[in-house]
Amino acid sequence: MLLENRRWSPPQLEEARRQALAGWPTGAGVDLQDAYAFHHSLPPERVAHRKLQAGAAAGRIFLQPRAGVALLAEHIELLSTLETRGCADFLPTTIDSYTRQNRYSEADRGIEESKAAGRSLLNGLPAVNYGVGNCRRIVEAAGVPVQVRHGTPDARLLAEIALAAGFTDFEGGGISYNIPYAKDVPLEHSLRCWQYVDRLCGLYAEQGIVINREMFGPLTGTLVPPAISHAVGIIEALLAAEQGVRSIALGYGQGGNLVQDVAALRTLSDLGRSYLDRSGYQDVQLTTVFHQWMGGFPQDESRAQGVIAWGAATAALGGVNKVIVKTPHEALGIPTAEANVVGLLCTRQVIMMLAEQSLPETPGLQAEEAIIRQEVREIFDRVLELGEGDLAAGVVRSFAAGVLDVPFAPSRCAKGSILPARDRDGAIRLLNFGDLPLSREIREFHRQKIEERGRAEKREPGFRMVIDDIYAISKGMLVGKRK
């Protein structure tokens, strides 16, 4: 069947569900009636979309860590520590890499080996292997909403099990969980798999159970210009809304330049809103999520704390509904519970101290916002045009043509011909435009910004500059300097 941005019919979903649920024995444990009853029994403070709605009305910024280990009891204990000592407003369940690649037999082995070793040998919780009943224990033990975070191009079975278990929030999308995460998965396939996930959320919504769907904003986390991640997030939001998703969170990964980041956060929520409204999805709830720096971190924990604090300040000044918090162990690997608590408390401290402060509207800020808006519009319009009006078809053709592109992505579906670099102030600009459909005016703006930096550093902008930027923060600065 042709890939189209059109809501799946009930028989189409039914047939697809039958196949997906047969993917691993635990699929047989999915019982929709039981799932609906469990969701209806959850109090509002443990339902993601309700908590987000209340927080947005009250102007609160919620904090959420990342966490997931191989063994269930340990995972539940870890989350309890993050909730009680870290005061996390939302809890995560980060899924391991085998599960992300649908390699459930290997995940099984990982569980057994972890039991034998007495510690987690997986980089997350293999939720599919545990199945509905076990996963529900995670949700039951938590006093706040729990979100599944992963990086799975085909998350059909994972979504079935997570939703049936009672998770009220599910991250990912057909672009953002493929292009940065996989090499060989066709976009058409991941888009279809995520139509399934979104339609499944739509099915729950028909029972009055609203699942929040978060789009993974940071993409490769490596110098992604805001307009690129905004365009991808907005497209994923529209695809999700078409399948019946009623609550969407759009994400953005911190770039490091305050003005650009604040402009990005402000434009993300109002561009997202206006694209949804214009497409007839006025009743879809929209919130935003800020990811503290997703690139390389300093090894030194005190320096890492500095990066975390700067992210916290940016989130507070930019205004956002939720922050995904880093830890001082970022450069070292999976953080301990303790390190995660440190990241949460540090972030909370800074955000609380900035609660009464806001950035003045400056011409610089307004100009930055205007640039992002124009870039998103130029990209989005061309995607729709290539799809001859169909957004899903447009996405596939646009990635093939380089009209949509993501820097440093491993996927063969992305052309990978754009190259970002920081300007003199550390804002992320484009050095190579690849085949992005950007106007002459926009290109000239980027060129001037990067040339200005080249003059200041007395060097020709080029690949060396990009490499210096990639490592800059881990070496203690924002703008990469020549050795």
Q: Find the catalytic residue in 66, 156, 160, 171.
A: 171
Do 285 and 49 meet the contact criterion of CB atoms below 8 Å apart? yes
Identify the sign of the CA torsion 262, 268, 271, 277.
negative
Residue closer to ligand 5AD by CB (options 216, 380) is 216
- Burial code of 320-350, b = ≥16 C-beta within 10 A, e = fewer? bbbbbbbbbbbeeebbebebbbbbbebbbeb
Does the protein bind ligand 5AD through residue 335 (CB under 6 A)? yes
Stretch that binds ligand 5AD, among 32-40, 62-70, 83-91, 381-389 (CB under 6 A): 62-70
Does the protein bind ligand 5AD through residue 146 (CB under 6 A)? no
Stretch that binds ligand 5AD, among 36-44, 330-338, 421-429, 452-460 (CB under 6 A): 330-338
Residue closer to ligand 5AD by CB (options 5, 94) is 94
The burial of 455, by beta-carbon neighbours within 10 Å (0-12 exposed, 13-18 middle, 19 or more buried), is given as: exposed
Q: Find the catalytic residue in 66, 100, 382, 397.
A: 100
Name residue 186's amino acid. P
**Who's near 185: CB < 8 A, 6+ residues apart?**
153, 154, 178, 411, 413
Placement of tokens 């400056």 in the chain: 362
Which one of residues 12, 101, 102, 123 is an interface residue with ligand 5AD (CB under 6 A)? Answer: 123
Kindly state the smallest distance separating residue 216's Cβ from ligand 5AD, in Å: 10
What is the C-alpha separation between 321 and 62, in angstroms, rounded? 6
Which one of residues 214, 236, 330, 369 is an interface residue with ligand 5AD (CB under 6 A)? Answer: 330
What is the C-alpha separation between 400 and 397, in angstroms, rounded? 5
Kindly state the smallest distance separating residue 143's Cβ from ligand 5AD, in Å: 20
Kindly state the smallest distance separating residue 367's Cβ from ligand 5AD, in Å: 32
Which one of residues 27, 86, 110, 124 is an interface residue with ligand 5AD (CB under 6 A)? Answer: 124
Alpha helices in 320-462 (DSSP H): 337-353, 363-386, 391-401, 440-457
Dihedral, CA of residue 186, residue 188, residue 189 and residue 193, to nearest 10? 140
Q: Is 378 marked active-site?
A: no
Bridging pattern class, strands 91-94 and 146-149: parallel
Residue closer to ligand 5AD by CB (options 29, 256) is 256
**Who's near 296: CB < 8 A, 6+ residues apart?**
331, 470, 471, 473, 474
Kindly state the smallest distance separating residue 137's Cβ from ligand 5AD, in Å: 18
What is the C-alpha separation between 266 and 55, in angstroms, rounded? 17
Stretch that binds ligand 5AD, among 2-10, 31-39, 61-69, 420-428 (CB under 6 A): 61-69
Considering only residues 422 through 451, tell me which ones interact with ligand 5AD, judged by CB under 6 A.
Answer: none
Residue closer to ligand 5AD by CB (options 67, 132) is 67
Stretch that binds ligand 5AD, among 169-177, 328-336, 419-427, 432-440 (CB under 6 A): 328-336
Identify the sign of the CA torsion 281, 285, 286, 292.
negative
What is the C-alpha separation between 43 and 259, in angstroms, rounded? 39
**Closest C-alpha among 285, 355, 366, 369 to residue 315:** 355
Kindly state the smallest distance separating residue 473's Cβ from ligand 5AD, in Å: 13
Helix (H, G, I), strand (E, B) or coil at 138: helix
Q: Is 375 marked active-site?
A: no
Alpha-carbon Rg of the chain, whole angstroms?
Answer: 21
Does the protein bind ligand 5AD through residue 328 (CB under 6 A)? no
Stretch that binds ligand 5AD, among 63-71, 175-183, 309-317, 385-393 (CB under 6 A): 63-71
Considering only residues 188 through 207, tell me which ones interact with ligand 5AD, judged by CB under 6 A.
Answer: none
State both tokens at 34. 């039981």
What is the C-alpha separation between 202 and 242, in angstroms, rounded? 9
Do 146 and 139 meet the contact criterion of CB atoms below 8 Å apart? yes
Residue closer to ligand 5AD by CB (options 212, 222) is 222
Kindly state the smallest distance separating residue 342's Cβ from ligand 5AD, in Å: 13
Residue 265 CB neighbours (<10 A): 23
Kindly state the smallest distance separating residue 326's Cβ from ligand 5AD, in Å: 6
Number of amino acids touching ligand 5AD (CB under 6 A): 10
Stretch that binds ligand 5AD, among 155-163, 209-217, 274-282, 327-335 (CB under 6 A): 327-335
Name residue 108's amino acid. D
Kindly state the smallest distance separating residue 78's Cβ from ligand 5AD, in Å: 8
Kindly state the smallest distance separating residue 161's Cβ from ligand 5AD, in Å: 18
Identify the sign of the CA torsion 386, 388, 392, 396.
negative
Residue closer to ligand 5AD by CB (options 218, 426) is 218
Q: Which x/- pattern over 66-95 shows residues binding ligand 5AD (rule: CB under 6 A)?
A: xxx-------------------------x-
**Residues annotated catalytic, as ranges:** 100, 171
Query: Which residues make up the interface to ligand 5AD (CB under 6 A)?
Result: 66-68, 94, 123-124, 326, 330, 334-335
